[in-house]
Structure 1
Amino acid sequence: MSILEKNLNKIHIDPKVTKTIENFKLISGTPKIEKVCDSVYVAINYGMGSVIIFDTEEGLVIVDTSDSRRVARKIKADLGELLNKPVKKIIYTHCHGDHWMGTAEFVCPDTDVIAHREFMDWLEYGRRLKGKDMRQNILQYNFDLPVSHRHIKIIPDKPGDEKLVLPNLLVDDCIMFSLGGLDFKIYHIECETSDHLMVWVPQLELLCCGDLYYASFPNISSPMKIVRSAYKWYKSLEQAMLLEPRYLVPSHTEPIKGKEKAAEVLRDYRDAVKFIDDEVVKALNKGKTLEEMRSSITSLPEHLANKSYLLELYGKVSWAVEGVFRIYSGWFEGNPTWLEPLPAKERNTELIDMAGGPEKILMKAAQKQDEDLHQLALELCEIVISVQPDNQEALEMKIFSLQALGLNTFNSNARAFYLGEAARISQKLGLLD
Structure 2
Amino acid sequence: MKNRNGILALAILAAAACGKQGEAERAAPAAPPSSGAAAKGLEDHSGELRRDVVAVTDSIAVAIGFGLGNSILVQGETCAFIIDTTESREIAQAISAEFDQLTDLPIEAIIYTHNHADHVFGADVFASGRDIDIYAHETTAGEVNKAVNIIRPILSRRSARMFGTYLDAGDNGFINAGLGPGLGVTGPNGGSIGYLPPTITYSDRLETEICGRKVILQHAPGETDDHTYVYLPDENVLMPGDNIYKAFPNLYTIRGTSYRDVVKWARSLDAMRALGAEHLVPSHTRPVSGRETISDLLTAYADGIRFVHDQTVRGMNMGMDPGALVEFVQLPPHLKNHPYLQEYYGTVRWSVRAIYDGYLGWFNGDGAALNPPTRRARAAAMAKVARDQTTLADAAAEALAADKLALAAELATLAIDADEDANRARALKADALAAMGYQSISPNGRNYLLTQAHELRGNLTIKEIPDERSIAFTRAVPIANFMASLPVNLNAEDALDVERKVEFRFTDTGEVFTVEIRRGVAIVTPAPADEPDLVVETTSLVWIDLLLGQRRAGVAIATGAIKFPGGLGDAAAFGDFMKLFRVT
TM-score of Structure 1 vs Structure 2, range by shorter chain: 0.7 to 0.9
Task: Say if 2:246 and 2:339, in contact at 8 Å, map to a contact too.
Answer: yes
User: Letter of the aligned partner of 1:248 in structure 2?
Assistant: L
User: Letter of the aligned partner of 2:272 in structure 1?
Assistant: A
Task: Say if 2:240 and 2:280, in contact at 8 Å, map to a contact too.
Answer: yes
Deviation digits for residues 80-133 of structure 1 (CA, Å, limit 9, x no counterpart): 343521112100000000001111110152410011111122123221111111
- Mapping for residues 17-416 of structure 1, pairs under 5 Å: 17-25=38-46, 29-108=49-128, 109-126=130-147, 127-144=149-166, 150-151=174-175, 152=177, 153-156=182-185, 161-226=192-257, 227-297=259-329, 299-356=330-387
Q: Could you tell me how far apart the structure 2 residues matched to 1:5 and 1:143 are? A: 15
Q: Could you tell me how far apart the structure 2 residues matched to 1:192 and 1:352 are? A: 42
Deviates more, 1:132-141 or 1:168-177: 132-141
Deviation digits for residues 362-406 of structure 1 (CA, Å, limit 9, x no counterpart): xxxxxxxxxxxxxxxxxxxxxxxxxxxxxxxxxxxxxxxxxxxxx
Deviation digits for residues 264-315 of structure 1 (CA, Å, limit 9, x no counterpart): 0000001000101110111122222111111111x31111111111111111
Deviates more, 1:280-289 or 1:205-214: 280-289
Name the SS of the counterpart of 1:200 in structure 2.
strand
Q: Could you tell me how far apart the structure 1 residues matched to 2:324 and 2:206 are? A: 45
Return the offset for 1:141: 2.3
User: Letter of the aligned partner of 1:72 in structure 2?
Assistant: A
User: Letter of the aligned partner of 2:78 in structure 1?
Assistant: E
Q: Could you tell me how far apart the structure 2 residues matched to 1:57 and 1:229 are? A: 39
Q: How many residues align?
A: 355
Task: Say if 1:245 and 1:259, in contact at 8 Å, map to a contact too.
Answer: yes
Task: Say if 1:141 and 1:154, in contact at 8 Å, map to a contact too.
Answer: yes
Return the offset for 1:216: 0.6
Name the SS of the counterpart of 1:191 in structure 2.
coil
User: Letter of the aligned partner of 1:174 in structure 2?
Assistant: R
Is the alpha carbon distance of 1:332 and 1:160 closer, same or farther for their aligned partners in structure 2, counting shifts above 3 Å?
closer
Return the offset for 1:185: 0.3
Task: Say if 1:116 and 1:188, in contact at 8 Å, map to a contact too.
Answer: yes
User: Letter of the aligned partner of 1:240 in structure 2?
Assistant: M
Q: TM-score, normalised by structure 2?
A: 0.58
Aligned to 1:419: none
Name the SS of the counterpart of 1:90 in structure 2.
strand
User: Letter of the aligned partner of 1:154 in structure 2?
Assistant: L
Q: TM-score, normalised by structure 1?
A: 0.77
Return the offset for 1:162: 2.3
What stretches of structure 1 move > 4 A for 4+ residues in a row?
Answer: 1-6, 144-151, 157-160
User: Letter of the aligned partner of 2:116 in structure 1?
Assistant: H
Task: Say if 2:88 and 2:191, in contact at 8 Å, map to a contact too.
Answer: no
Task: Say if 1:58 and 1:179, in contact at 8 Å, map to a contact too.
Answer: no
Task: Say if 2:73 and 2:99, in contact at 8 Å, map to a contact too.
Answer: no
Q: Could you tell me how far apart the structure 2 residues matched to 1:316 and 1:303 are? A: 16
Task: Say if 1:26 and 1:253, in contact at 8 Å, map to a contact too.
Answer: no
Gaps of 5+ in 1: 359-433
Q: Could you tell me how far apart the structure 2 residues matched to 1:269 and 1:332 are? A: 30
Q: Could you tell me how far apart the structure 2 residues matched to 1:159 and 1:13 are? A: 32
Return the offset for 1:49: 0.4
User: Letter of the aligned partner of 2:160 in structure 1?
Assistant: I
Gaps of 5+ in 2: 1-22, 390-584
User: Letter of the aligned partner of 2:40 in structure 1?
Assistant: K
Name the SS of the counterpart of 1:84 in structure 2.
coil
Q: Select the structure of larger CA radius of gyration.
A: 2
Q: Could you tell me how far apart the structure 1 residues matched to 2:82 and 2:388 are? A: 62
Name the SS of the counterpart of 1:13 in structure 2.
helix
Q: Could you tell me how far apart the structure 2 residues matched to 1:69 and 1:160 are? A: 7
RMSD, aligned α-carbons: 2.4
Task: Say if 2:51 and 2:64, in contact at 8 Å, map to a contact too.
Answer: yes
Task: Say if 2:219 and 2:229, in contact at 8 Å, map to a contact too.
Answer: yes
Is the alpha carbon distance of 1:251 and 1:160 closer, same or farther for their aligned partners in structure 2, counting shifts above 3 Å?
closer
Task: Say if 1:64 and 1:90, in contact at 8 Å, map to a contact too.
Answer: yes
User: Letter of the aligned partner of 2:156 in structure 1?
Assistant: M
Q: Answer 1 or 2: higher relative contact order, Cα 8 Å, separation at least 6.
A: 1
Q: Could you tell me how far apart the structure 1 residues matched to 2:218 and 2:51 are? A: 29
Name the SS of the counterpart of 1:250 in structure 2.
coil
Task: Say if 2:89 and 2:191, in contact at 8 Å, map to a contact too.
Answer: no
